[in-house]
Amino acid sequence: MNNNLFEDTDSILTEERIFTPTPEMVENANINAYMKSKGFDDYEAFYKWSLANRDEYWDDQAKELHWFEPWQKTFEWTDKPFFKWFVGGKFNIVYNCLDRHMETPVRNKVAFYWEADNGETRSMTYEQLYVETNRLAKGLQNLGLKKGDRVAIYMPAVLEQIIAVLAVARLGAVHTVVFGGFAANALRDRIIDAQAKMVITADGNHRGGKLIQLKNITDEAVAETPTIEKVVVYNREGLDVSMKEGRDIYWHDLLADIPADTVVPCEPMDSEDLLYILYTSGSTGKPKGVVHVHGGYAVGAYTTTKFVFDIKDNDIFWCTADVGWVTGHSYIIYGPLMTGVTSVLFEGTPAYPNPDRWWSVAERFKVTILYTSPTGIRGLMRFGEEWPAKHDLSHLRLLGSVGEPINPEAWMWYRHNIGHDELPIMDTWWQTETGSIMISPTIIQPLKPGSATRPLPTIAVDIVDRNSKSVGLGKGGFLVVRQPWPSQMRTIYNDPARYLTYWETLPDVYFAGDAATIDKDGFIRVQGRVDDVIKVSGHRLGSMEIESSLVSHPAVAEAAAIGKPDELKGEHVKVFVILKNGFEPSDEMAKELKLHVRTTVGALAVPEELEFTPSLPKTRSGKIMRRVIRARELGEPIGDTSTLDA
């Protein structure tokens, strides 16, 4: 890690604008009601209490959900840093998303309003979602799916994607959702690592007006995955796709004889049984299969949805993420459904056909809470204020941001143009590995543009030096967490050693690679990754994945990928390429290599800049020193080069 990372710390700590909540916001806030029940009316004092009473806090939250059998012990270190939450409890997250609401007025509420890329709309009540989930669960059961089996879900943002996720989890099987924008190789690698038995996909769909051939890509991936027995295909577009006899089956054929009153009871899972594996990029090697479980994950997703977004009965919640990322898992599907709120699911892209598409969706569905990303905001900022101004966004009452640091300029634009100069913005810091939001204001706290403010209750966040010692107010360091929380990943699938690195990089704390500063008032500002992960438009890409793709091209000897600051995307990819003897640098070659990355990794990973170079800086052990390349590229101090092979 770079020693000089925090040299510019002082210059970043200058934000003085503070926005305070109105008395009505505080009075009606969900978090306020809970605080009061514990005898507090001040967040700081309440937070201190929560650190000392972690298990009581989580017991209170967990009790609001349905358990087939209660837990005996709230938390247990099994073999540190491995641990369990809600030990002995029997639980199914889907029961809490659906079945529980069948006894209450939520039954007839809209669960999702959906809008297609082409503008078509559809909606589904909680009861309809319950019915369709049960039918699909029955169909999957008929295909032989059972508890513990892994299923890859490679679908567009249609309601059936959500039904697929819920049906798999209902049966106690484990889903691994693969983003619909990923290429065949990425899908194949994830299927192989998870040893998935089934893929649920669609023929294809349109996004931003472009057709994505999901079934063709699935066929290509599945040709090299021995574990796949069945491919279920949802007919989204009526495309003429090839169906392999005995392996492939259409969703509608699978469900044809399954009546609407079919009930497949939720599999009673142990709290610690697997719910899903979600692959995310690390700095080296293949993507990591982050493992989440039914009990603790549910409690974390539910609690944060309730407190951070302050969900009320008549809210319309819209999280613009894709279900293929963790944000979609926790805040499109699980968190919102457990709270019984009405959500929006949107298949399209922000600026298609016009730069006001999002604002038009928000207006038409009367969205009250909008949760989006800095990259989304920056992307739309560039078209000008007149686009949001065309729309009545007066229903909005709360805004959120996630995925990367939000620069104060974008924060102010968001508040001014979307939040009519008065809405609070919840800048939420968390990760695939944390399962749910960790650092974020709630509606009752003061805000500073560009700051995720403070940790949520019980989350023992600290900013530390290399010895895990707090740096103190007004300084910068590594962002760590000192105590476990329920929705934390349990391990890396097939690779527990890799899980250990999160706890062993810095002594006795959880560290997942971000740097942060804390100002004199205790406001935290997350600065981004300290390792070699590149964050493009809010999505984590491993430098390794991009480099592996490049060196798989016959002309490439070696490659190094770095992230460079990008006004729009947060970071963009720049690659340095050493060609093999006999190949000459040219514009055509650069084009060909970019295309190669597109087809092997996916469009997000395509390098914006490609430079041919005769050599790359390496350590003596042969590791490419990406931070040296990055420092050179950005004209920054190079730092410790003691391991550099001169």
| In the complex, least distance from residue 440 CB atom to ligand 6R9, rounded to whole angstroms | 8
- Using the contact rule CB under 6 A, the part of the chain among 41-49, 292-300, 460-468, 512-520 near ligand 6R9 is 512-520
* Nearest-5° Cα angle at 377, 376 to 380: 85
The smaller minimum CB distance to ligand 6R9, of residues 35 and 402, is found at 402
For residue 221, give the amino acid letter.
A
Q: Which residues pair with 71 in a beta bridge?
A: none
Pick from 322, 394, 389: nearest CA to 355: 389
**By CB under 6 A, what part of segment 522-541 binds ligand 6R9?**
526, 528-529, 535, 540
Contact between 388 and 369 under an 8 Å Cβ cutoff? The reply is no
430 lines the binding site for ligand 6R9 (CB under 6 A): yes
Q: Which stretch binds ligand 6R9 (CB under 6 A): 269-277, 357-365, 506-514, 577-585?
A: 506-514
CB of 371 to ligand 6R9, least distance (A): 11
Residue nearest to ligand 6R9 (CB): 432
Q: Examine residue 277 and tell whether it contacts ligand 6R9 (CB under 6 A).
A: no
What residue type is 469 in one-letter code?
K
Rounded Cα distance between 271 and 67, Å, is 9
Nearest approach, Cβ of 430 to ligand 6R9 (angstroms)? 5
Residue 402 engages ligand 6R9 in binding (rule: CB under 6 A) = yes
Tell the smallest beta-carbon distance from residue 638 to ligand 6R9 (Å): 23
- CA dist 138 and 255 (Å) reads 8
Q: Identify the residue among 151, 311, 452, 624 touching ligand 6R9 (CB under 6 A).
A: 452
Least distance from ligand 6R9 to the Cβ atom of residue 406, Å: 7
Closer to ligand 6R9 by Cβ: residue 295 or 328: 328
Residue 428 lies near ligand 6R9 (rule: CB under 6 A): yes
- Residue 499 Cβ vs ligand 6R9, minimum distance, rounded to whole Å: 15
Which of 53, 283 has the CB closer to ligand 6R9?
283
Cα 638 to Cα 646: distance, rounded to the nearest angstrom = 14
Nearer to ligand 6R9, 405 or 419 (CB): 405
Asked if 402 contacts 537 with a C-beta cutoff of 8 angstroms, the reply is no
Our finding on whether 161 is near ligand 6R9 (CB under 6 A) is: no
| The dihedral sign for the CA sequence 368, 371, 374, 379 | negative
Q: Going residue by residue from 316 to 355, which x/- string records binding to ligand 6R9, judged by CB under 6 A?
A: ---------xxx----------------------------
Binding string, 231-270, against ligand 6R9, x = CB under 6 A? Answer: ----------------------------------------
Q: Binding to ligand 6R9 by residue 514, rule CB under 6 A?
A: yes
The piece of 41-49, 234-242, 333-341, 428-436 that touches ligand 6R9 (CB under 6 A) is: 428-436
Contact between residue 312 and residue 123 where contact means Cβ atoms under 8 Å apart: no
CB 450 → ligand 6R9: shortest distance, Å? 9
Nearest approach, Cβ of residue 526 and ligand 6R9 (Å): 4
Confirm or reject binding of residue 474 to ligand 6R9 (CB under 6 A).
Answer: no
Amino acid 272 reads E
Of 452 and 550, CB closest to ligand 6R9: 452
CA torsion sign for 143, 148, 150, 156 is positive
Question: Does residue 511 touch ligand 6R9 according to CB under 6 A?
Answer: no
Q: Are 207 and 117 in contact (CB under 8 A)?
A: yes
- Indicate whether 110 belongs to the interface with ligand 6R9 (CB under 6 A): no
Question: Cβ 514 to ligand 6R9, closest distance in Å?
Answer: 5
Nearer to ligand 6R9, 404 or 545 (CB): 404
* Residue-wise DSSP of 401-470: EESSPPPHHHHHHIIIIISTTT--EEEEB--TTT-S--B---TTS-B-TT--BSBPTT--EEEE-TTS-B
Name, in order, each residue with C-beta under 8 angstroms of 27's C-beta and a sequence gap of 6 or more. none
Q: Nearest CA to 291 among 275, 303, 304, 311?
A: 275
8 Å CB contact between 465 and 453: no
Pick from 50, 176, 280, 320 the residue near ligand 6R9 by CB under 6 A.
Answer: 280
Minimum CB separation of residue 464 from ligand 6R9 in Å reads: 16
Mark 237-272 as b/e (b = at least 16 C-beta within 10 Å): bebebebeeeebbebeebbeebeeeeebebbbbbbb
Contacts of 196 (CB under 8 A, 6+ apart): 149, 150, 151, 152, 176, 190, 225, 227, 228
- Residues 564 and 569: their CA atoms lie apart, in Å, by 10
User: Is residue 544 within the footprint of ligand 6R9 (CB under 6 A)?
Assistant: no
Asked if residue 489 lies in contact with residue 435, where contact means CB atoms within 8 angstroms, the answer is yes
Sign (positive or negative) of CA dihedral 340, 162, 257, 267: negative
Does 432 bind ligand 6R9 (CB under 6 A)? Our answer is: yes
Give the binding site for ligand 6R9 (CB under 6 A): 280, 325-327, 402-405, 427-432, 452, 512-514, 526, 528-529, 535, 540
